[in-house]
Amino acid sequence: MTITRTAPAEVAVTPLSGNLGAEIGGVDAAEPLDDRTVERLRRALLEHKVIFLRGQLLDYDSQAAFARRFGDLTLGHPIYSAPEDRPEVREIDSRQGTRANHWHTDLTFVDRPPAIAFLHNKVTPPVGGDTMWANTVTAYQALPEPLRALADRLRIVHSNDSDYTDETVAARREYIATLFETEHPAVHVHPETGERALLVGGFARRAVGFTPQASRDLLRILQEYVTRPEQTVRWRWQVGDLAVWDNRATQHYAVHDYGAEDRRAERCTVAGTVPVGVDGRPGVVVSGDTSGYNAGIA
């Protein structure tokens, strides 16, 4: 890839909380970046799990180009179609019923959930509309040893037919017209850092080998460790903000406290790998075919 900068940017990293989150200064994501700057951003992302860049003037092409420096991009969404001229974008628009006000890791019902997500804010309500992130690595570390040992062996089925998809009857019907389910380890090993992270959240439906009631109880207990306040950071959006998060080590929640006001952003995602448990077993597809989602753009 051609390098157009002659010197690396002066990247400033300011942590935002004790367990995750950092604000990045000194980087213009709309401009071509040298490899050293991209590597510094990647290190900050892996350490802090979610990073934020204020005041970024991005259109579709420049956002996709920036995201592509971190890996191959997926299609905008495995279920919803994207505009033909913007296949790698997913518009998050509250006026179309897209609010994501549930704790979740993105798209865990596919066999290869996205590795990294890039969300660029376009419209911000005058009050409210923050997003919260949670660190699933430190949540795992906080589990008491007997629960951690159980989680290490647990397998969970994730589905698009979940509590996450309940905005309207019409939207839900479209979302679950085809059932997609994948069995993932409840604890997976991060492919870059080697850290263990909980893989639960809004798409998790049942624990393999347990009754429905026991499954609900297990998922609730694990999820409570993820969303404890000390595992979270909260971001107050401004127009032009770019959030980049490690989808392999976080959950997030878009707070819907802005009434009928508009909230809109655009997301690109870097393709991920199949999650692998601490026992070496990878996730497996139960139903549905989302292979085209990660096939890349020709």
- Alpha-carbon distance of 10 to 78, in angstroms, equals 37
Q: How far is CA 263 from CA 95, 127, 257, in A?
A: 8, 11, 11
Q: Thinking of the domain 12-290, which architecture would CATH place it in? A: 4-Layer Sandwich (3.60)
pLDDT tens, 17-34? 999 999 999 999 999 999
Catalytic, 158? Answer: no
Catalytic, 267? Answer: yes
Looking at residue 51, its amino acid is I
Spatial contact of 210 and 180, defined as CB atoms under 8 Å apart: no
pLDDT tens, 129-170? 999 999 999 999 999 999 999 999 999 999 998 765 555 555
pLDDT tens, 207-229? 999 999 999 999 999 999 999 99
Looking at residue 201, its amino acid is G
pLDDT tens, 163-206? 655 555 556 677 777 889 999 999 999 999 999 999 999 999 99
Catalytic, 252? Answer: yes
pLDDT at position 95 = 73
Catalytic, 120? Answer: no
- Alpha-carbon distance of 267 to 265, in angstroms, equals 7
pLDDT at position 176 = 75
48, 102, 112, 267: which one is catalytic? 267
pLDDT at position 120 = 97
Is 40 buried (19+), middle (13-18) or exposed (0-12) by CB count in 10 A? buried
Which of 73, 71, 72, 69 shows the shortest CA–CA distance to 36?
69
In the chain, where are the structural domains located? 12-290
Residue 60 has pLDDT above 90, yes or no: yes
Dihedral pair phi/psi, residue 217, rounded to 5°: -65, -45
Residue 278 has pLDDT above 80, yes or no: yes
42, 48, 106, 241: which one is catalytic? 106
Q: For residue 146, what is the enclosing H or E element?
A: helix 145-153
Dihedral pair phi/psi, residue 44, rounded to 5°: -65, -40
Residue 296 has pLDDT above 90, yes or no: no
